Amino acid sequence: MAKHISRQELKTDQVQEALSHGAEAVLSHKKSLILAIVAAAIIAGGIFSWRFYSQRQSVKAEAEFNDALAVYEALVVGPGQPPQPNEITYSDASKKFQDALVKFQEVVQQYPSTRSGQLAKYYSALCEEHLAKNPQAIKDLTDLENGSDHDFAAMARFELAQIYDQMGKSNQAVQLYNELLSNPSVLVPKSIVLLALAEHYKGSNPAQAAKFYNQVKTEFPGTSAADDADQQLALLPSTGKS
């Protein structure tokens, strides 16, 4: 999300300073004082109104995002399986992701500048993946990747790499993984990227996959990522482990 100085970031002491400066001119510039007070009052009112509006929008966006997420995470029940009480259930996964996509897109359209709006765009792309709409998913993820929010960009870049891997676009996938390794994010840590790279090479180059699994074990000992790497390493052909 773009970082910019907006009205809500103004400090109230700036308004007080404007009033103070106006008071100093009262003896010789009474008219200027009046204008200064009026201007300061307008600014103060604008700050309050904008902050109230922004907070309200964020709360509404978060609530609607959570509604969409509940659909995205809904349980898909099999034929004859009774629905769970007080839970959203679907009998068709495609219908579930289509419904979730509509809800996420509404959040994106109504609250594009909020973090919930940005996250809804990411989840829209995930829904599009599930619905085999890769071109649209790539477009949405590319928009996020090119945004100024580092964490959202990293999440989008990782998901793009996953899509390219599934599509057999090996070079594009590896390029994105390497970009993530050189510029890791809290939401996409290095260990996860290394595991993805190992998975990428597991079928075509077991020795390279083993190299990445061992790197995870060396750099992140005692973590769940290291445990996963150890398990996957054991499944590689013996010729690829050296």
Residues 187-200 pLDDT 10s: 899 999 999 999 99
What is the residue-averaged pLDDT of the chain?
A: 80
Residue of 53, 47, 56, 94 lying closest to 74 (CA atoms):
94
**Domain membership flag for residue 55:** no
pLDDT at 10: 39
Any domain includes 226 = yes
**CATH number for the domain including 104?**
1.25.40.10
Specify if 30 maps to a domain.
no
pLDDT for res 53: 53
Say which residues have a Cβ less than 8 Å from residue 100's Cβ, sequence separation at least 6: 68, 69, 71, 72, 74, 123, 127
> Is residue 41 a part of any domain in this protein?
no
Tokens coding 157: 């870049």
Domain count, the chain: 1
Please measure the distance between the N-terminal and C-terminal CA atoms of the chain and give it in whole angstroms.
Answer: 44
Q: Evaluate whether residue 92 is within a structural domain.
A: yes
| pLDDT of 240 above 70 | no
Inform me whether the pLDDT recorded for 46 exceeds 60.
no
Q: Which of 208, 130, 220, 131 shows the shortest CA–CA distance to 174?
A: 208
Exposed / middle / buried, residue 54 (Cβ in 10 Å: 0-12, 13-18, 19+): middle
Query: Does any domain span residue 56?
Result: no
Between the CA of residue 209 and those of 2, 5, 179, 196, 225, what are the distances in Å?
37, 46, 18, 9, 14
pTM across the whole model:
0.72
pLDDT in tens, 89-136: 898 999 999 999 999 999 999 998 888 898 999 999 999 999 999 999
> What pLDDT score does 142 carry?
96
CB atoms inside a 10 Å sphere around CB 213:
29
88 in Cβ contact with 70 (< 8 Å): yes
- The answer to whether residue 177 is domain-embedded is yes
Does residue 20 surpass a pLDDT of 50? no
The string of pLDDT tens digits covering residues 53-93 is 567 777 888 899 999 999 999 999 888 777 777 788 898 99
Domain with 115, as residue range(s), is 63-240
In a domain, 12, yes or no: no
